[in-house]
Amino acid sequence: MGDNQFAGKCHIIMDPNPEEKALIYPATTRLTPSESTMERFRKRQRIMAQTKPEPAQCKICRSYFQPSWDDFENNWKFPDMAIIPLKPGLSNGICRSCIKLMHIRENINMHLERAGIPPKYLGCSFETFRPANDIKHCYRICKEYIAEPVCNLFLYGGYGTGKTHLAVAVARELLLKGKIVLFTSVPRLLFEIRKSFGKGADDMGSFYIDKYSSCPFLILDDLGLEKNTEWSRQTLDYIIYERDNNLRPTVITSNLSLDELSEKLHGRISSRLAGMGKVVLFNGKDYRLRRENQTIPILNDSR
């Protein structure tokens, strides 16, 4: 009896024929897209069209930025622009990229330290470099490199000729442009990797190798000063190979020429370095021994 009582109703609801559909869902109540939803959509489109602001221009770099509609707050915003006053005298109208560069300029030593620059070299810049006549061309090449840092630099020469100073100066200028830079000496790089492997942490060793292989700009100081082993040669070859293949600029300093590196390390490494970019010879005297007005006190033991 229960089944017969609901059989007709279940049939009408689940599988009505066309005539029954007309009786159950009159034309005025049939399911159609919600008019209120469509109206809200049209209203929002009208508001967006009527209120869309002109592109905003940064007061510093003079670049223009397009507005973006915020669906949550239902208004236009400029996600690339500052929305609060930064400091006295600087209000809205500055893009986030310029804010980042301002922070770097005001805290350059902190950013140099984060990039791995040792405290001894934090003051190194193009402005503080005093090139002798025999290496003025090295100074010029390094300074011109900043304008288009897409290739690689191999700086080599004797001790105290200013290679590390100019390499740090390059790092400083790249940081001031908002670039990501890592600086390390080759012995320190190999020590970090070997120490991580020595603890049995293969993942950490891979982390350091990937860190130096994938960073946008890498500065390797004192190539050739490391202990010459098969492991060190393979590690350096892999990092340089990866950076070269992926067009990631590298600045390298060394006391050895490419021929001397070929004898100490491997011909493949020096050959790759020769084809990666500019090779610059620092053919000068020891800067540390010829600084102007430098005096070395002489102790007179009269006892």
Structural domain spans, the chain: 56-106, 108-288
Distances (CA, A) of 7 to 10, 17, 18, 24: 5, 15, 19, 16
> Phi, psi at residue 144, to the nearest 5°?
-70, -25
Name which of 248, 274, 251 is nearest 261 in CA terms: 274
Which sign does the torsion angle of CA 184, 188, 189, 192 carry?
A: negative
Q: Which CATH number fits domain 108-288: 3.20.20.100, 3.40.50.300, 3.40.630.30, 3.40.50.970?
A: 3.40.50.300
Per-residue pLDDT of the chain (303 residues; tens, 9 = 90+): 444 444 444 333 344 444 444 443 344 434 345 557 788 788 888 888 888 888 888 888 899 988 888 888 788 888 888 765 555 544 468 888 888 899 999 999 999 999 999 999 999 999 999 887 888 999 999 999 999 998 899 999 988 889 999 999 999 999 999 999 999 999 999 998 888 876 555 566 788 899 999 999 999 999 998 888 888 889 999 999 999 999 999 999 999 999 998 888 777 888 888 888 899 999 877 766 655 545 444 444 333
Distances (CA, A) of 235 to 92, 213, 217, 299: 49, 10, 18, 47
> Phi, psi at residue 43, to the nearest 5°?
-65, -40
Name which of 241, 237, 272, 244 is nearest 258 in CA terms: 272
Q: How far apart are CA 303 and CA 301, in angstroms?
A: 6
Name which of 238, 235, 242, 269 is nearest 254 in CA terms: 269
Whether residue 148 contacts residue 179, with contact meaning beta carbons closer than 8 Å, is answered with no
